[in-house]
Chains A and B, each alone.
Chain A
Amino acid sequence: MSLAVAARRRFSSVDWRDPNTLTYVGLGFLALIYPTVVYLINPDQGPALVSQAADAGVFVVMALGLNVVVGFAGLLDLGYAAFFAIGAYTYGMLASGQLALSPIGHEVHLPFWVLLFVAVLVAATCGAILGAPTLRLRGDYLAIVTLGFGEIVPRVFRNLSQFTGGVNAISAIDAPVLPFWIDGPWDGGASFAVVQNLKFTAGEPTAYYVLMVLIIVAVVVVIRNAQRSRIGRAWMAVREDEVAAEAMGVNTVNIKLLAFAIGASVSGFAGCYFGAKLSTVSPENFTFLVSVTILLMVTLGGMGNIPGAIVGALVIYFVQYKLLSDLPHWVASAASALSLSQHATNVATDYATRLNFVIFGLILAVTMLLRPQGLLPSRVRAQELQRGTTDESVFDASAT
């Protein structure tokens, strides 16, 4: 069969009424035009906005990875930021002058493109080492173990200051380099031009943006294929009924471990990118808040659904880094418009900076209580929740 026929057949089998298809198409289109549009509309803010979009992409990637763990396999991972940290530190230590200050005594400068995969390997290995003993236990133990792990990893990086710089962070991390690059309106340039040996510096947000979009596409493709394979069905079986899955011959420990390790490696992937883009990694970047933020993205978007995770990540990123970070300014200007006293303005602004914990908590709890399927539910989940399944007594009297 020729490739064209295969492609056409695949295309015609797309269900255009599926909200997921529409989301994919919509997101793809937006991703494609975003830099150009931003530079055309708002040239001053262009680089900042494109750079922010690339940062949001880091969270999208992590939400995709956590969705495998939480959404597909039904395992609660509360220390997801730990793997993010591991990825970032892998890049930070192996692509900067940091190790010269350590007992090793030599600088190591491996290329970004290699370290992307090293970071994935390291994160996956850590995930497997942590998961292997605990995944034999009931799922909720994994939650607490990962919670602990998420607390410990940043502390280890902080304490091992000989190697990691400790609280002083690793800075001046190498930027990725590409042999050539095309400048254009998407890059704020007036005309098209080929640039040789482009260095991904902070002044090149579009390069980071494009790289991020490619990473997201790659991660989506890999995860989507896994979901539709035997493995994906096994994950679903384990999530729904572990004992039954085991009776069907699913090696539940291995299949859970696989989900956990895939989640970890995706997070490591994102961490490596994050370290390169920020050019600095510090233990402060990987707190519990990060883990919960990503959990929030997956929960809100719709557990077990890939476009849901993407949309959830974008919404939460927008809430956290745009709405909540701008809120104090709005409150301050509102207060001055109402000509409040300086003291009252300060108090109001101060309170406005303290809202994020409560808002995050509320989104988590309210989503689970009122719309557990999330914004963009997976089909299976939605049906379960609407119709109930036969073995849970939905009308069980003790619940009321």
Chain B
Amino acid sequence: MATVAGPLKQTRLGISGRVGGWIFYGVPLVAFLVLILPRLVLNPGFFLQILVFGVTDGAVLALIALGYTMVYGIIELINFAHGDIFTLGGFIGVLIFSLIGIVPGKDLNLGFLTLFVVIGVMAVTMAINGGINVLIERVAYRPLRHQPRLAPLITAVGMSFILEGLMFIWKGPNFIQSPDLLPGGHFTVLAANVDYRSIVLIAAALVLVVLLTVFIERTKLGKAMRATAQDRDAAQLMGIDINRTISATFFIGAALAAAGGILYGFYLHNFRFDTGFITGLFAFTAAVLGGIGNIRGAALGALLIGLIRAFNDGYGRSEWSDVLIFAILVYVLVFRPTGLLGMQVPEK
């Protein structure tokens, strides 16, 4: 199973067992039946439209949520700076695009070449962003690995501020524009317009998630990550260099976040220094909802969060979306802290 982590050691469930399970699944089910289903029947086209928005949103969130889940899985640190690593990825992507002459509003008409340009820039951005995150881990978190848990947590908040601050100094308080290299056009299903851009974005995220899963399950480094997550000492006794493994985890997390940042830029066209703060909070909620430490859980959780947000934006009132998602975080932590796909196997 693609699980990196032992989730929630020492957790005592709030309301656990069967009752908790009933509530956990029951309330969303009732909410769906009462609030969403009638609207689906009345206007399936609009429903589908919202669905597409939600899945697209969830695809970007998934790329961020994976970084939270992997880092939490391996060193049990809520990496508060991860949302800002996502923004940084977007900033770096915009910079590289502008260096090769691709700026928003200027149509280069690269045609089929676009795909290779995007993949190339994305790869470079992912590598740079990954490298920065590795550096952060080395400087800020590793020296505190054996301190009380509070120390690395507070340092992570500090790193978050440093990253936001650097981006603030770099670009100021205004939104920066991102180029958009996604294809135009749409097709129509049930009176809903499905943009090709959404399809491409979802496909890109899906490819990355599948690649990551294969990597974790099949490769030696992936196995080392899982082993380190489960028992650090034992992993060392197997000959695993845990420092290298942890660095690799931070690298991959930041690389995926960078890909998310570029796709976010393509899709929503602008962001600024603190975009990653609230987006990161959503992504963390997604990781918890899916079962923190679990790769597939993070992807699933992100999808659900994206959908919930889209439904609320579409059917409800969008200014309450943030509050709703936060309520979901508390809801999950109360009724099922292990999340949807969290492990039920005994620890050691």
Contact = CB atoms under 8 A, between A and B. Distances in A.
Interface stretch (B36-44, B144-152, B197-205, B263-271): B144-152
Nearest to B284: A144
Nearest to B167: A357
B10 interface: yes
Contacts of A243: 10
A13 interface: no
B165 A357 contact: yes
Nearest to B337: A137
B11 interface: yes
B334 A369 contact: no
A368 B337 CA distance: 29
B281 A365 contact: no
Interface string B140-161: 1011111111111111011111
A356 B274 CA distance: 14
Contact of B153 (A143, A292, A361): A143
Contact of B145 (A137, A363, A399): A399
Report which residue of A143, A158, A159 has the largest number of chain B beta carbons within 10 angstroms of its beta carbon: A143
A101 interface: no
Interface stretch (A147-155, A202-210, A212-220): A147-155
Contacts of A368: 144, 147, 151-152, 154-155, 158
B322 interface: yes
B10 A76 contact: no
A322 to B, nearest CB: 19
A242 B150 CA distance: 14
A350 interface: yes
Contact of A137 (B11, B154, B165, B285): B11
Interface in A378-400: 392-394, 396, 398-399
A305 to B, nearest CB: 15
B280 to A, nearest CB: 10
Nearest to A243: B10
A398 B146 CA distance: 9
A361 B160 contact: yes
Interface residues of A, number: 56
A148 B155 contact: no
A362 interface: yes
B137 to A, nearest CB: 13
A70 B151 CA distance: 11
B196 interface: no
B319 A360 contact: no
Given A138-B11, A361-B158, A399-B146, A144 B165 contact: no
A290 to B, nearest CB: 13
B191 interface: no
B215 interface: no
Interface residues of B, number: 60
Contact of A364 (B11, B158, B333): B158
Nearest to B164: A357
A134 B284 CA distance: 16
A364 B148 CA distance: 16
Interface in B284-329: 284-285, 288, 319-320, 322-323, 326, 329
B158 A362 contact: yes
Interface string B1-40: 0000000111111100000000000000000000000000
Contact of A398 (B144, B147, B157, B243): B243
A358 B163 CA distance: 7
B326 A358 contact: no
B155 A365 contact: yes
B172 interface: yes
A44 to B, nearest CB: 33
Contact of B322 (A70, A133, A136, A155): A155
A159 B320 contact: yes
B242 interface: yes
A136 B13 contact: yes
A367 B104 CA distance: 41
A281 B333 CA distance: 32
Interface in A122-158: 130, 133-134, 136-141, 143-145, 147-149, 151-152, 155-156, 158
Contacts of B334: 133-134
B166 interface: yes
Nearest to B236: A398
Given A144-B284, A399-B145, A357 B329 contact: no
Contacts of A357: 161-162, 164-165, 168
Contact of B140 (A78, A156, A369): A369
Which 3 residue pairs of A and B lie closest in terms of their CB atoms, listed nearest first? A357-B165, A361-B161, A364-B158
Given A134-B330, A134-B333, A145-B329, 6 more contacts: A74-B148, A137-B333, A156-B323, A354-B168, A357-B165, A358-B168
6 contacts: A152-B323, A355-B165, A368-B144, A368-B151, A372-B151, A399-B145
